[in-house]
């Protein structure tokens, strides 16, 4: 899910509590290059609003971080605004950053990783993509697309590895193998 798709998927969300949550989830998952499990594990206490209008986010544990050392990632102002919109609706009493919404009301419970995959597929459908295109998206699409976008924007592999929490350049190379990146342009 490159930035072009991300923008379309965010735009396709309805103006409902679910839609506000989905916009924030899509944008945050993309910018933090998170795995599905990392995204749904985020809690309110993992966010630290910064004076520049962005958030500093602690990703506590991941597949590549078995000892729970965590990694720090940052949002853009745009994603921070989407997060604040969601947090205003979600309320302060819910510990999970993203939670289910039942009949327009947020519920203090975590989401499953399947919810992220379903969100991406439903967003692709809402954006008007055909069935074959929808099929190509997965729960990992935000991580892959963001890494490819960072490469095409000129970031080096060290910066991309740090942003996504990769420990091995060989693993990152698999994410970047289909990026359309013309070094001569």
In a domain, 151, yes or no: yes
Residue 17 located in a structural domain: yes
Indicate whether 185 belongs to any domain. Answer: no
Is residue 47 domain-resident? yes
- 102 within domain boundaries: yes
Give the domain range for residue 39.
Answer: 3-176
The residue-averaged pLDDT of 2-12 equals 97
pTM: 0.92
Each residue's pLDDT tens digit, 93-140: 999 999 999 999 999 999 999 999 999 999 999 999 999 999 999 988
Q: Is residue 170 part of a domain?
A: yes
DSSP 67-126: T---EEEE--HHHHHHHHHHHHHH-TT--BSS--EETTEE-SSPPPHHHHHHHHHHHHHH
pLDDT in tens, 19-28: 999 999 999 9
Answer for the pair 132, 38: CB distance below 8 angstroms, yes or no.
no
Number of domain units in the chain: 1
Tell me, yes or no, whether 54 lies in a domain.
yes
Share of the chain above pLDDT 90, in %: 81
* DSSP H/E element including 146: helix 141-152
* Assigned domain for 96 exists: yes
**CATH number of the domain bearing residue 79:** 1.10.443.10
């Amino acid at each position: 899910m490159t930035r072009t798709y991300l923008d379309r998927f965010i735009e396709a969300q309805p103006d409902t509590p679910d839609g506000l949550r989905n916009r924030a989830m899509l944008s945050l998952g993309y910018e933090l290059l998170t795995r599905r499990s990392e995204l749904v594990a985020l809690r309110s206490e993992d966010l630290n609003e910064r004076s520049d209008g962005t958030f500093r986010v602690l990703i506590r544990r991941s597949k590549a971080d078995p000892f729970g050392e965590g990694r720090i990632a940052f949002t853009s102002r745009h994603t921070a605004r989407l997060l604040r919109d969601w947090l205003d609706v979600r309320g302060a009493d819910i510990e999970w950053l993203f939670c289910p919404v039942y009949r327009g009301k947020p519920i203090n419970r975590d989401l499953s990783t399947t919810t992220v995959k379903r969100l991406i597929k439903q967003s692709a459908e809402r954006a008007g993509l055909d069935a074959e295109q929808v099929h190509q998206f997965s729960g990992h699409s935000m991580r892959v697309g963001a890494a490819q976008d960072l490469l095409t924007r000129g970031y080096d592999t060290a910066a991309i590895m740090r942003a996504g929490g990769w420990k091995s350049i060989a693993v990152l190379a698999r994410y970047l193998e289909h990026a359309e990146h013309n070094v001569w342009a």
